[in-house]
Amino acid sequence: MVHNLSMKKGVLHKKQPQWIFRLKLIPKIEKQVNKIIEAEFIYKVKCLTWIANIILIRKKNGKLCVCVNFWDLNDACVKDDFLLPVTELIIDATTFHEALSFMDDTADYNQIQMVVQD
C-alpha cells in the first residue's frame, strides 16, 4: 500500500531556506538521520521542487527527536475527509473485552510509504 499526495490546483512549490543549527547539535542530527536511512524509511533524492527543513523536537524524556517541517506541503495538499479517530474513544470502545492490541509504533518506521513520484 502506498500513499499519494493530492495537491490543490494552482499551488506553487516552495523551497524553505536552510536552517542553521548549533554546532553541538549537528552530530545528534546526523545520528538520527542515519538511523532512519539505515532503516530504509527515507532515502536521498535530488528534488528541487519541494525542500523541507529538519526540525528538532525535545521529548518529555529529554531526548531529541528529528522531524521534517512539512508545513508548506501540508498547506498545499487537499485535506482528508476521513479524520483519524480519537484514541480515548477507541480505548473506551474496548470496555468488557478480554484483549486490546496496539501496533508497535515506537520506532516510527511502520508508516505507509509514499508513491515514488510524490
pLDDT score of 68: 81
pLDDT score of 100: 64
From first to last of its 118 residues, what are the pLDDT tens digits of the chain?
777 778 888 888 888 888 888 899 889 888 888 888 888 777 777 776 777 788 888 888 988 888 888 888 888 888 877 776 777 777 777 788 777 666 555 555 556 677 777 6
Find out whether 51 and 15 touch, Cβ atoms under 8 Å. Answer: yes
**Buried/exposed 73-96: b ≥16 CB within 10 Å, e otherwise:** beebeeeeeeeeeeeeeeeeeeee
Domain harbouring 9, CATH code:
3.10.10.10
Find out whether 100 and 87 touch, Cβ atoms under 8 Å. Answer: no
Domain hosting residue 98, numbered range: 2-114
pLDDT score of 115: 79
pLDDT score of 16: 80
pLDDT score of 101: 65
Please enumerate in sequence order all residues whose Cβ is within 8 A of that of 16, keeping only pairs 6 or more positions apart, or say none: 51, 52, 53, 69, 72
pLDDT score of 103: 56
* C-alpha dihedral (64, 43, 106, 53), degrees to nearest 10: 40
Please enumerate in sequence order all residues whose Cβ is within 8 A of that of 42, keeping only pairs 6 or more positions apart, or say none: 33, 36
Domains: count for the chain:
1
Tell me, yes or no, if the pTM score tops 0.75: no
